[in-house]
Structure 1
Amino acid sequence: MSSIFDVNSAVSRRNFMRLFGAGAAAAATLPNFSQTAFAQAAGQTAGRRGMGERPMMDKDVIVISSNENPLGPAPSALAAVAQAGPTGGRYDKYGVTIGVVKTLSEQFGLKPGYVQLYPGSSGPLDMALMSNIGPGKGLVTADPSYEQGSRAAQKLKAPLKQVPLNAKYEHDVKAMLAADPNAGAFYIVNPNNPTGTMTPKEDIIWLINNKPKGSVVIVDEAYHHFSTHESVIDQVAADKDVIVLRTFSKIYGMAGVRAGFAIARPDLLEKFETLSPSVSLRNAASVSLLSAAAAGASLRDPELVPLRRKINTDIREATLEFLDKKGYKIVPGSQANMFMVDVKRPGKEFNALMMKEKIAIGRTWTAMPTYVRVTVGTKDEMEKFQTAFVKCMDVPPGAVNASLHSELYIPSELDRHRA
């Protein structure tokens, strides 16, 4: 009988139906609880985390603001969680986490020691950044791009250079190198967040080959599965000065389950541990048995990525075609589960209008203040988005009370620093 503890096997169809049926029956009792106890607990703990009290969102709001996957974990992952659940009272003595690392290494052709698993990719991204930048070692990022890089530089008082994307909304790698020839790290998000656009692999390789000695290129591939472009993980296998971050939060639909990984030479991964001499970061950032089980099952599911890539692409392209036909200006070339559209007014103002229609869309970036980012939801969600978008665009700019902007809470992946 196949098992999650057998790293070379998938869940059998018979066990899947039995386990998924049991899991579904248990899950059927959760909605009322999740809307009350979970909501109350979230509100009570928010203050303790220093995030401040936040109003609970109306359950009818369509949330397409956080770059989450509305499909959730795959059936194969849910079955693996159900199977692993009874062993949750013990530590991972069967080596489920080790099995996930082994699977990743085999799939990417990596030698042992080049992969480290974490609960999400936010933590290892901070570790990759903070172990290579500081007061005397700057960071270069694109603008606009995901803000975790710039936040890390600010925390460590590292010189920060933000370089505009080029005319194709790609990272301008030559301008990035020229911005700080002595930088400690160059941060590339590919596909980029918020534009969803890809930077050609050959450009990233050029930067890897021409960067200053002793620096690293950090490539954030959180959304890479949505694209058919080549990864730069082969540059890690070639022992280059590059760190690649990936997550199970996006195409695998596990943002709340928490699993991600860093891929780099062992010496670069070992530098993560130098951030705190008194704390073992690997112990502090250990992955749960259930997360590892879900991650392993997802990796061994051959249909998951291509199927979900097609679903996302079809819905995204249909939405973009609608917006284009209506004459709205979009950022072309998205290869992710998001896109940007010009709303011809401050983005926060438009967000408030959309919230009145019970649709939460993404935030804006200083470099593109009239553009909003929209996550690709389900077909039904995006049809409702289209209707609300046209209605809100017909409202003259400035019609929303500015005081509403500061009170508005819209979920974002920044709530967890990037799930």
Structure 2
Amino acid sequence: MTSIALPENIDSLKAYSSAKSEKLTGTTWLNANESPYAKVYETCFDTLNRYPDPQPEAVIDAYSQYSGIDTDGVVMTRGADEGIELLVRTYCQPDKDSITIFTPTYGMYKVTADTHNVSINELSQQQLADASIAELVSAIGDSKLVFICNPNNPTGSIQPLQRIAQLAESLAKKALIVVDEAYIEFCEQQSCAPLISGLDNIVVLRTLSKAFALAGLRVGFMLSNPKLLAPIRKVIAPYPVSTVVAVIAAQALSADAITQMRRQVSILNVAKKKLISWLQESEIVKEIFSGEGNFVTLQLTDKCYVQIATQMGLIMRPFLLYGQDNWLRISIGNEQELKQVKSWLAVCRQAEEV
């Protein structure tokens, strides 16, 4: 029996390992940057025999009003991940073009590029923050897409609007600046969406998975100028958004729901400050990246403390960072969930004393 040979780039592909792909058991889940808030939505099932609107008007109108971008500059996608994939597939030629990323950052930029046989120009977050614009332009070279996760996952760092605008201006007609704003609701004033009207090469990616507490719905948006989005509209699947998803998304984007979301974000931002204070007092914590977003990334003095958390049913996200395997990301949960983190810190302290 013969097997079908895979393309070399797929055969060697290292798949993205999401928090949910790890088969763990626990009682408190703070590993996927999910919102702790759940809400009941009304659904409609009497039109499922018909294909959905490819770009549901009610959702596009609502997100246009929310984001301040005209409706012809909004594309709804299956999570922000589909936006990443569409940009690479549309604008990059396989085995020829490249993208630039600034590591450590969200892993799907690399996985998507590898899937499409597009090269990766890997620069650092430190370069993004500290290098001059001229140095960045030189380092980016001839990359077609430049991905900036802002706020960045997992460091929480954020680049000022003016710096991103200067970079975009310097790369005009050379590259697209893709600003991934998955966590922007936690620092709304830092959004790059206002740059779209004055710059032709800015794309902003958004999601309802984080602050809007709809990770299970898989809804994202791509914001840009209509001319840049035109080829995306040719490439996107004919019916990317299901009717049920569109109905729920429209409700989530109502004025009252947005007000509720912002109230929840304020609560989570306060809770984050409290968590940081606990971590700063803990002897098992070596370094803390607070930054923006609904998470805190930290370095432990010893990775064995993660195992203690798992035994307590507390699931957080350990990972390798800067060549060291004692890093941990903690999502901001509700009051009860964060009390579990405080209890874990106390147990670890006792273990260290023994």
Normalising by structure 2, report the TM-score.
0.82
Distance 1:96 1:139 in 2: 28
Deviation, 1:188, is: 0.5
The within-5 A match list for 1:276-295 is: 281-284=236-239, 286-295=240-249
- The one of 62, 68, 76 equivalent to 2:34 is 68
Which structure shows the bigger proportion of residues in strand conformation? 2
- Would you say the 8 A contact 1:96–1:289 is kept in 2? no
* 1:371 aligns to 2:327 (yes or no): yes
Deviation at residue 326 of structure 1 after TM alignment? 2.5
Deviating above 6 A after TM superposition, structure 1's stretches of 4 or more consecutive aligned residues are 92-96
Q: Which AA in structure 1 matches 2:298?
A: V
Match of 1:331 in 2: 288
Question: Residue in 2 aligned with 1:194?
Answer: 154
Match of 1:15 in 2: none
Counterpart position of 2:88? 129
Deviates more, 1:110-119 or 1:192-201: 110-119
- The 8 Å contact of residues 183 and 293 in structure 2, kept in 1 or not, is answered as yes
Check conservation: 1:192, 1:198, Cα contact below 8 A.
yes
Q: Which amino acid aligns with 1:356?
A: Q
**What TM-score, normalized by structure 1, do the two folds share?**
0.70
Residues 305 and 157 (structure 1), Cα distance of their counterparts in 2 relative to 1, 3 Å cut: same
Say whether the 8 Å CA contact 1:139–1:159 is kept in structure 2: yes
1:250 to 1:93, Cα distance in 2 relative to 1, 3 A: closer
1:173 shift after superposition: 7.3
In structure 1, the residue matched to 2:64 is 105
Superposition deviation, residue 339 in structure 1 = 0.9
Aligned-residue identity in percent: 18
Is 1:155 paired with 2:115?
yes
Please tell me whether the aligned partners of residues 172 and 201 of structure 2 are also in contact (alpha carbons under 8 angstroms). Answer: no
Q: Helix, strand or coil: the match of 1:352?
A: helix
Report deviation, 1:351.
3.3
In structure 2, what is the Cα distance between the partners aligned to 1:244 and 1:111?
A: 13
Aligned pair in 2 of structure 1 residues 368, 247: CA closer, same or farther (>3 Å)?
farther
Is the 1:182–1:212 Cα contact (8 Å) retained in structure 2? no
Asked if structure 1 preserves the Cα contact closer than 8 Å seen for 2:290 and 2:297, the reply is no
Aligned in 2, Cα 1:354/1:333: closer, same or farther, shift over 3 Å?
Answer: closer
- Alignment length (residue pairs): 329
Q: Secondary structure at the match of 1:166?
A: helix
- Indicate yes or no: 2:308 matched with 1:353: yes
Name the Cα RMSD after superposition.
3.0
The answer as to 2:351 corresponding to 1:385 is no
CA contact (8 A) 1:186 1:216 kept: yes
Cα distance in 1 for partners of 2:176, 2:112 equals 15
The aligned amino acid for 1:351 is V
Measured against aligned partners, the alpha-carbon deviations of 1:349-376 in whole angstroms (never above 9, x if no partner) come to 5433321121111132442623211111
Match of 2:8 in 1: none
CA deviations on 1:137-186 (whole Å, 9 max, x unpaired) are 2211111110111112222333322222239x958674543322211111
What 5-or-longer segments of structure 2 have no aligned partner?
1-16
Task: Please tell me the residue identity of whatever aligns with 1:62.
Answer: T
Does 1:310 find its partner at 2:273? no
Distance 2:228 2:52 in 1: 28
> Paired residue for 2:204, among 237, 240, 244?
244
* Partner in structure 2 of residue 267 of structure 1: 227
Shift of 1:333: 4.0
Aligned with 1:185 (options 145, 153, 172): 145
Give me the whole-angstrom Cα distance separating, in 2, the residues matched to 1:393 and 1:386.
11
